[in-house]
Amino acid sequence: MNKNESYHNLTLSDTVFYQLIGRDGEYREESEPVLKEHLINVRVNEQLTMKLICTPQFLSELILGRLLTEGMICSVNDVKQIYICETGSEASILLKNSSDLAADAQIHPVTPIPWKASHVFALADCFQEDMPLHKQTRSTHLCFLAQEGKLIFRCEDIGRHNALDKAIGYALLHGIDLTGCMVCSSGRIPTDMVIKAIRARIPVLVSKAAPSREAVNLAEQYALTLICAARQDRMKLFAGTPPVS
């Protein structure tokens, strides 16, 4: 795949002023950094396919991950070229099979892997270390990608779906086998987050937050290990096999 990214160091946040109003009548002007929303138009085989509101980091990873989790590609080998302009607002992707842009609605069960509770607790520790943009603005979701207990990628985005897609896209770009990986998200887990993990063939999905009833059902149906409310001292296993010692 040919990857050509022309954007560099796009602005992630800006300072805004606001009026602080207290219950005791206090009233004063203050300022703080806030996240900037970035819009990128994605054209696949010259067709405008999606408009993404995101944080302008790891844009190729975001797009490739989204194409995979939407069933438009099966692997990075389906992509001939990806180009992103210097403002990061336009992306052009050429697929090797230029005649088929229809999303594949089918999903299949993942292959479970043995996992250790210590690996999940280690990822929970990483959340406590925080990420730069979240620490500055408190406006992003985080996602970590780990393999055999080793953290191999971390990212953040304005949306939890985007952050997960970036982690998946990173694995695609770097030849990492997602069937042996664990991903950890800071966001809630509804069915669409579970479907993303299943489409990517990820066997273990972890979150700091809570799942929906339907997400738990889907995880059980497709053999996904689903761990939520992951903290430094505890976790909740909603679906999948117990950890190995």
22 in any annotated domain = no
CATH number, domain at 165?
3.40.140.10
159 in any annotated domain = yes
Q: Whole-number mean pLDDT of the chain?
A: 95
The answer, as to whether pTM is greater than 0.85, is yes
58 in any annotated domain = yes
Q: What is the pLDDT of residue 148?
A: 92
Check whether residue 76 and residue 129 sit in a common domain: no
- Of 47, 65, 95, at which residue does a domain stop? 95
Check whether residue 153 and residue 196 sit in a common domain: yes
CA distance 95 to 97: 5
Check whether residue 131 and residue 163 sit in a common domain: yes
Q: What is the pLDDT of residue 29?
A: 97
Average pLDDT over residues 54-76: 96
Confidence category of residue 223, pLDDT binned at 50, 70, 90: very high
Check whether residue 152 and residue 78 sit in a common domain: no
User: 115 with 129: CB under 8 angstroms?
Assistant: no
Question: What's phi and psi for 21, nearest 5 deg?
Answer: -120, 120
Tell me the one-letter amino acid at 231. R
Number of domains in the chain: 2
Q: What is the pLDDT of residue 127?
A: 86
pLDDT at 87 over 70: yes
- Other CB atoms within a 10 A radius of the CB of residue 3 amount to 13
Q: What is the pLDDT of residue 74?
A: 92
Confidence category of residue 210, pLDDT binned at 50, 70, 90: very high
CA distance 210 to 227: 9
pLDDT at 105 over 80: no
Q: What is the pLDDT of residue 129?
A: 86
Q: What pLDDT, in 10s, does the model give residues 36-48? A: 999 999 999 999 9
1 in any annotated domain = no
Strand partners, 47: 44
DSSP secondary-structure letter at 211?
A: B
Share of the chain above pLDDT 70, in %: 97
CATH number, domain at 81?
3.10.20.10
Q: Which domain holds residue 70?
A: 38-95
Q: What pLDDT, in 10s, does the model give residues 121-165? A: 999 999 888 788 998 998 999 999 999 999 999 999 999 999 999
205 in any annotated domain = yes
Q: What is the pLDDT of residue 98?
A: 65
CA distance 143 to 8: 22
User: 188 with 211: CB under 8 angstroms?
Assistant: yes
Check whether residue 182 and residue 234 sit in a common domain: yes
Check whether residue 79 and residue 181 sit in a common domain: no
Q: What pLDDT, in 10s, does the model give residues 91-101? A: 999 999 865 56
DSSP secondary-structure letter at 44?
A: E
Check whether residue 141 and residue 222 sit in a common domain: yes
User: 141 with 185: CB under 8 angstroms?
Assistant: yes
Check whether residue 134 and residue 234 sit in a common domain: yes
The radius of gyration computed from the CA coordinates of the chain, to the nearest angstrom, equals 19
pLDDT at 104 over 90: no
Name the residue with tokens 């972890």: 206
138 in any annotated domain = yes
Check whether residue 122 and residue 81 sit in a common domain: no
CA distance 209 to 203: 18
Kindly report the CA angle at 63 between 60 and 69, in degrees rounded to 5?
135
Check whether residue 194 and residue 229 sit in a common domain: yes
24 in any annotated domain = no
Average pLDDT over residues 188-204: 98
Helices (H), the chain: 59-69, 117-129, 132-137, 160-173, 191-199, 213-221
Average pLDDT over residues 4-25: 95
Check whether residue 50 and residue 121 sit in a common domain: no
pLDDT at 176 over 90: yes
Confidence category of residue 224, pLDDT binned at 50, 70, 90: very high
Check whether residue 86 and residue 127 sit in a common domain: no
5 in any annotated domain = no
